[in-house]
Amino acid sequence: MTRIVRYIWLVLLLALVAIGVTSHASISITLVSDGWLEIIDKSDLIAGAGSDLISTYESTSDQVSINISGTTSGEDNWRVDVKRVDTDWHNSLSLYAQRTSNGSGSGTISGGSQYMTVTASDQTFFSGRGDRTGIEVQLKVSGVSIQIPPGTYTTTLYYTVVDTL
Amino acid sequence: MRKLVMLGLVVTVAMISGLVVWSAATDSGTASVGMQLEEIAQLVVSGDPGLITLTNAQTTAGLLPTEQTDATTSLSWTSNVASGSRKITAALSAAYTTGVVLKATLAEPAGSNGTSAGEQTLDTEAIEMFTGIANENCTQATITYEFSLSTMIAPITETESKTVTWTLLAAAA
């Protein structure tokens, strides 16, 4: 009898592990974006010769489209973190992101609808439940000025979906 | 006792496995952002100075007519190159009648890193008026034109109008 109980315990524990595997290992995030390259030239001077450059630039409202898939149900919770990894970024420039659409799907979505500063560390951007497609993101860069030498300044945004309890 | 230890071991392994599986439940996607700042060299003159006239009334017997000045115009510029690598030059479109001299001074405006060359005689060949321009945007740098004679000449009955071309360019040019 004791042996049977022990086997039942073992089977239950293995089942829990299996549930864990199927619940959390398959969530994925896909991005649809060609990247955002903003070209700044003399036409961006505030008032022609003698004036500084416009300091803030925004991408289109659908610059990035995010799909979340692989959740177990419309109740499966997740969050999306965002950070940037600089290639050649000027320290006067600040980068912001905001979510401009809810996308569609069986679950829900919340947060991230105001611009937040994207830093080198992961920060919670928005969260939701279930699979969702077409979550649109808009980007903004501020701090542009004539004091920044000519050149191309690049960074990469990392969007990470985390399956949460 | 042995059974309990075994059970505890199995539970521990199962929990660790679960945690490992849990921590792996992430996925990432990336998108690039680039800001491409082009070189900018923009300069504008506020307008034309007024007509400058040398008259008999401005002349003391025994001397050349007193030079006349105009400081009603200015330059503004925007530049975003490395420190000190641009300058401003000025050149006349054509020479005045021999004996007529036009000089100009470009003042150092607020916010500039550069240095004025002071009063310079203008000619058809470009002359440096301001050097050491860096990343800066400056407005209303006053231009002072001084009109004079180097020697007494016959009266000029028709107005002589020339164009002064101001250029913002690389310091090495």
Summarised one tens digit per residue, pLDDT across range A140-165 is 999 999 999 999 999 999 999 999 97
pLDDT value of position A155: 98
Closest CA in chain B for residue A22: B21
Domains of chain B: 41-153+161-170 (2.60.120)
CB within 8 Å of B2: residues ≥ 6 apart: none
Residue bearing tokens 């500039």: B112
Which of A33, A139, A150 is nearest residue B39 as measured by Cβ atoms?
A150
Low-confidence ranges of chain B (pLDDT < 70): 1-24, 84, 173
Which of B26, B31, B40 is nearest residue A42 as measured by Cβ atoms?
B40
**Does residue A18 belong to any structural domain of this protein?**
no
Q: Cβ A146–B137 below 8 Å, yes or no?
A: yes
DSSP at A149:
P
Alpha carbon of A161: minimum distance to chain B alpha carbons (Å): 5
**Does residue A11 belong to any structural domain of this protein?**
no
Which residues in A lie closer than 8 A to residue B43 (C-beta atoms)? Answer: 49
ipTM of this predicted complex? Answer: 0.82
**Does residue A58 belong to any structural domain of this protein?**
yes
Which of B33, B77, B139 is nearest residue A35 as measured by Cβ atoms?
B33
What is the CATH classification number for the domain harbouring A151?
A: 2.60.40
**Does residue A13 belong to any structural domain of this protein?**
no
Q: Cβ B21–A17 below 8 Å, yes or no?
A: yes
**Does residue A140 belong to any structural domain of this protein?**
yes
pLDDT in tens, A103-152: 999 889 999 999 999 999 999 999 999 999 999 999 999 999 999 999 99
Q: Cβ A158–B40 below 8 Å, yes or no?
A: no
Which residues in A lie closer than 8 A to residue B76 (C-beta atoms)? Answer: 48-51
Q: Cβ A9–B44 below 8 Å, yes or no?
A: no
Whole-angstrom distance between the N-terminal and C-terminal Cα of chain A?
A: 36
Which of A33, A50, A155 is nearest residue B76 as measured by Cβ atoms?
A50
Query: What whole-number distance in Å separates Cα of residue A101 and Cα of residue A114?
Result: 11
Closest CA in chain A for residue B139: A50
Which of A70, A146, A156 is nearest residue B80 as measured by Cβ atoms?
A146
Q: How confident is the model at residue A22 (pLDDT cuts 50, 70, 90)?
A: very low
What percent of chain A shows pLDDT beyond 70? 85
User: Mean pLDDT for chain A?
Assistant: 89
Alpha carbon of A109: minimum distance to chain B alpha carbons (Å): 17
pLDDT value of position B156: 85
Domain range for residue A52? 27-163
In the numeric block, which tokens belong to residue A143?
């701090």
Q: How confident is the model at residue A10 (pLDDT cuts 50, 70, 90)?
A: low
A with B: how many residue pairs have Cβ under 8 Å apart?
179
Which residues in B lie closer than 8 A to residue A41 (C-beta atoms)? Answer: 38, 40
CB atoms closer than 10 angstroms to residue B57? 8
Q: Cβ B33–A141 below 8 Å, yes or no?
A: yes
**Does residue A89 belong to any structural domain of this protein?**
yes
Q: Cβ B7–A84 below 8 Å, yes or no?
A: no
pLDDT value of position B55: 84
- Of A58, A163, A165, which to mutate for an interface test with B (greatest number of B Cβ within 10 Å)? A163
Q: Number of structural domains, chain A?
A: 1
Contact between B120 and B105 (Cβ < 8 Å): yes
**Does residue A59 belong to any structural domain of this protein?**
yes
Q: Residue range A71-80: average pLDDT?
A: 92
DSSP at A9:
H
**Does residue A21 belong to any structural domain of this protein?**
no
Query: What whole-number distance in Å separates Cα of residue B91 and Cα of residue A61?
Result: 49
